Amino acid sequence: MQKQEKIINMFNEISSTYDLLNRLLSFGIDKRWRQKACKKCFSLYEPKITKIIDVACGTGDMLYFWDEASKKLNKPVKEYLGVDPSVGMLAVAKEKIKFAKFIEGTATALPAKDNSADFVSISYGIRNVVARQDAWKEFYRVLKPGGLLVVLEFTKPEKENVFGQFTKWYMQKMIPFIGKIISKHSDAYTYLPDSIKAFETTKSLKEEMQSAGFKEEFIKGYSFEISTLFIMRKPKA
């Protein structure tokens, strides 16, 4: 089986316990990371918003926070679309989120027209996309000129901070231990720290997006750089 197919199968297998483990393992902090991303993004965008596409939408959490921020900030959004290749994750999303349309698909072939989205978001998803360079091209294609790409991700630390040792222990020992007990999946929660270790740094990921044509708008690490928010703009001309 190909690497990408294996990853998607793994998400199918853990979809029923995914939300519970997400909240538990992040002590609920992921909610704050998502809220900050949505709020910042709305503050950087003036035009009326017709469409937000959440790629690798999983169980739909990011869409929930897009809608929450849109209502709080009085910035109406006409249409929400969630895209994910895992039917298991999408089934949970469809139960939870009634205001969005969901389509089974991958980051490299989005079911959307050129220049049609105001925001494209991908939260904790780009690490799982094997053909990442093709995904950047696809995000660029579907975004309107001036539109924003919003990436939330666990990047590899550039250098260790004071909490480095604790974070390492928590990621490499505790997450696989708790993850295995609850999800009953033998290696899904070993994949998480392993995939972060094999992933890019904040700097290298930013450079990839810049090479794909995006301009840096806002980049910030949260909670001792555990989670990083990237907001990149597709230039107008």
Ligand X SMILES: C[S@@+](CC[C@H](N)C(=O)[O-])C[C@H]1O[C@@H](n2cnc3c(N)ncnc32)[C@H](O)[C@@H]1O
Task: Out of 33, 51, 67, 106, point to the residue binding ligand X (CB under 6 A).
Answer: 106
- Is position 14 an interface residue for ligand X (rule: CB under 6 A)? no
Q: For the chain, list the strands marked E by DSSP.
A: 49-55, 77-84, 101-104, 117-123, 143-153, 215-222, 227-233
Q: Which two tokens stand for residue 101?
A: 């349309």
In the complex, least distance from residue 33 CB atom to ligand X, rounded to whole angstroms: 9
Nearer to ligand X, 127 or 206 (CB): 127
> Binding marks (x or -) toward ligand X, 79..98, rule CB under 6 A?
-----xxx--x---------
- Which one, of 100, 32, 114, lies nearest residue 64 by Cα? 100
CA distances to 3, 34, 139, 151, 204 from 121, in Å: 23, 11, 9, 6, 19
Hey, which residues does 147 pair with through a beta bridge?
none
Say how far apart CA 164 and CA 168 lie, in whole Å: 6
Question: Smallest distance from the beta carbon of 237 to ligand X, in angstroms?
Answer: 29
**If you ran DSSP here, which 8-state letter would residue 201 be given?**
B
Among 14, 21, 41, 57, binds ligand X (CB under 6 A): 57
Binds ligand X (CB under 6 A): choice among 53, 129, 143, 171: 129
What's the rounded Cα separation, in Å, for the pair 116 and 50? Answer: 8
* Residue from 51, 110, 117, 128 binding ligand X (CB under 6 A): 128
- Nearest approach in angstroms of CB 48 to ligand X is 25
Min separation Cβ 63 and ligand X, Å: 9
The answer to whether 130 touches 62, Cβ cutoff 8 Å, is no
Please name the helix (run of DSSP H) or strand (run of DSSP E) that holds residue 39, with its range, or none.
Answer: helix 29-43
125 binds ligand X (CB under 6 A): yes
- From 51-59, 157-165, 180-188, 221-229, give the range in contact with ligand X by CB under 6 A: 51-59
Residues near ligand X, by CB under 6 A = 4, 7-8, 11, 55-58, 61-62, 84-86, 89, 106-107, 123-125, 128-129
